[in-house]
A and B are shown apart, each in its own frame.
Chain A
Amino acid sequence: MKAELRIKNHPILEFKKEKILKFKFEEKDYEGYEGETIAVALHASGVKVLGRSEVKNRPRGFYCAIGNCSSCLMIVNGEPNVRTCVVQLEEGMKIERQEGKGELLWKL
């Protein structure tokens, strides 16, 4: 899946993919490129389901990809509700699917 989703030849665009970043998704090893958002790196690796909905436990993927719709919220390095469609991938990130609303890291 991975190889086929990345565009190799494009008539007008060129994509610079230089530095490979390693990260963990659901405790497994994955790779993406520097400059990509978390959701893009996951999508390119064949991961479509980013979380589950609160009430009916339905699968969630991204929808708007501009940080608007909340469909792509995931747990990143333990922090819930990260908009993975706009947050850039970093080396060593630990990414998990989020179920429902997520827990606050600190209490009031």
Chain B
Amino acid sequence: METVELLIIGAGPAGLCAAISAVSSGAKVMLVDRNDTLGGQLIKQTHMFFGSEKQYAATRGTDITKILLAEIEKYKENIKIYKNTTALGMYEDGVVTLARNDKYIKVKPKAIIVATGASEKVLAFPNNDLPGIYGAGAVQTLMNVYGVKPGNKVLMVGAGNIGLIVSYQLMQAGVKVEAIIDAAPEIGGYLVHASKIRRLGVPIYTSHIVKEAIGLDYLEKAVLIEVDEKWQKVRGTEKEIDVDVMCISVGLTPLTELLMQKGCEVKYVPELGGLVPTRNENYETSIDNIFVAGDVSGVEEASAAMVEGYLAGLCAADKIGFRHDDFKKLKKDYIEQLHSLRAGPESDKIRGGIAKIERRAQDV
């Protein structure tokens, strides 16, 4: 069994920031990711980020990864990075099992930060399993990481920020976006994004859903239908469109399996994407020394994921005996950054969700 002080599972923005924060406090870290490349969802995000300057707003997601990896590089003596390594299980006796290339490894860390991110939701409609129907993140990976188009004509389902941004990226890649639809009566994403896309000639149909997908071995057509205020289908409003790709962009759900196996308390909080762990202000779960950060603790965006990572890394290191010289100051700063990120009216839902999972009256 390998000895590890702090194990961080997942090297997206949350995991990378947690690692930086923990090593700069003096802890030794093992950082594992099941992928071959570090950076999580960031590596496929070619657009300039929203958020504030401290969290690299107006920098492309792909460049943020480079900045974080350069920072990690400075501490390389104290960070062991295992790529292509999947955390398989977290057991009662504190053991975590990992699969690395074809090897099975057991570690028993003093503390763990779970930063596994989130996975894409699916939608229910007839033939929703046909090839050609892909998650928005998958479409991004295909075209922004590998330079391959998902197909030639796309229907985007979901007019939130991700749906709008990915539609724009599809057009940049030379793919035709036939339409964007959303079941809600209003566009969920920022209007600047929506107007930009409309100007490029793509219709956005609100109050529309997919009635069914048509195709034998893969998607050939999609049938849309309008819904009324009660979300009921309005008969006679069907529209058939020829598409070879349907891109599903209806949100993400936290990857909490490992936490549930370990027995951490989780709650169903739709505002945060589904089942999420309860935690205190240090991002420690209901089980001692098990911390969370990023989308796994509630789906938000990369800016919050990074600050949560810094905070969880700082507090986890402290918990196992490595207190940063500026611990109090840093902790206050991270908590304030999170507050200001979630301050706007568009974060009402997030704040409501967090109120349901944050356990108070914990040690500071």
Are A49 and B120 interface neighbours, CB within 8 A? Answer: no
Tell me, rounded to whole Å, the shortest Cβ–Cβ distance linking A22 to chain B.
Answer: 18
> Which chain B residues in 139-155 approach chain A with CB under 8 Å?
141-144, 146-152
Name the B residues within 8 Å of A10 (CB-CB).
147, 172-174
Are A59 and B130 interface neighbours, CB within 8 A? Answer: yes
Q: Does B81 contact A (CB under 8 A)?
A: no
Are B172 and A61 interface neighbours, CB within 8 A? Answer: no
Are A15 and B146 interface neighbours, CB within 8 A? Answer: yes
Q: Does B286 contact A (CB under 8 A)?
A: no
Q: Does B138 contact A (CB under 8 A)?
A: yes
Q: Which residue in chain A gives the minimum CB-CB distance to B127?
A: A58
Are B132 and A48 interface neighbours, CB within 8 A? Answer: yes
Name the A residues within 8 Å of B141 (CB-CB).
65-66
Name the B residues within 8 Å of A63 (CB-CB).
120, 122, 133-135, 138
> Which chain A residues in 6-59 approach chain B with CB under 8 Å?
6-7, 9-13, 15, 17, 36-37, 40, 43-44, 48-50, 53, 58-59
Distance between Cα atoms of A17 and B145 in the complex (Å): 12
Tell me, rounded to whole Å, the shortest Cβ–Cβ distance linking A68 to chain B.
Answer: 5
On chain B, the number of residues with a Cβ less than 8 Å from chain A's Cβ atoms is: 33
* Residues of B contacting A: mostly: loop
Are B135 and A64 interface neighbours, CB within 8 A? Answer: yes
> Which chain B residues in 280-323 approach chain A with CB under 8 Å?
none
Q: Does B337 contact A (CB under 8 A)?
A: no
* Residues of A contacting B: mostly: loop
Q: Does A60 contact B (CB under 8 A)?
A: yes
Known contacts A60-B129, A65-B141; decide if A15 and B147 are in contact (CB<8 Å). yes
Q: Which of A7, A64, A66, A71 has the most CB of B within 10 A?
A: A66
Name the A residues within 8 Å of B327 (CB-CB).
none
Distance between Cα atoms of A10 and B132 in the complex (Å): 23
**Chain B residues proximal to chain A, CB less than 8 Å:** 34-36, 46, 119-120, 122, 129-135, 137-138, 141-144, 146-152, 172-174, 217-218, 255
Contacts beyond the supplied A40-B142, A65-B135: 15 A-B pairs with Cβ under 8 Å: A5-B148, A5-B151, A6-B147, A43-B150, A49-B218, A59-B131, A59-B218, A60-B131, A62-B134, A63-B120, A65-B142, A68-B120, A68-B255, A69-B135, A88-B36
8 tightest Cβ-Cβ pairs between the two chains A and B: A61-B131, A15-B147, A65-B138, A48-B131, A65-B141, A68-B119, A7-B147, A48-B218
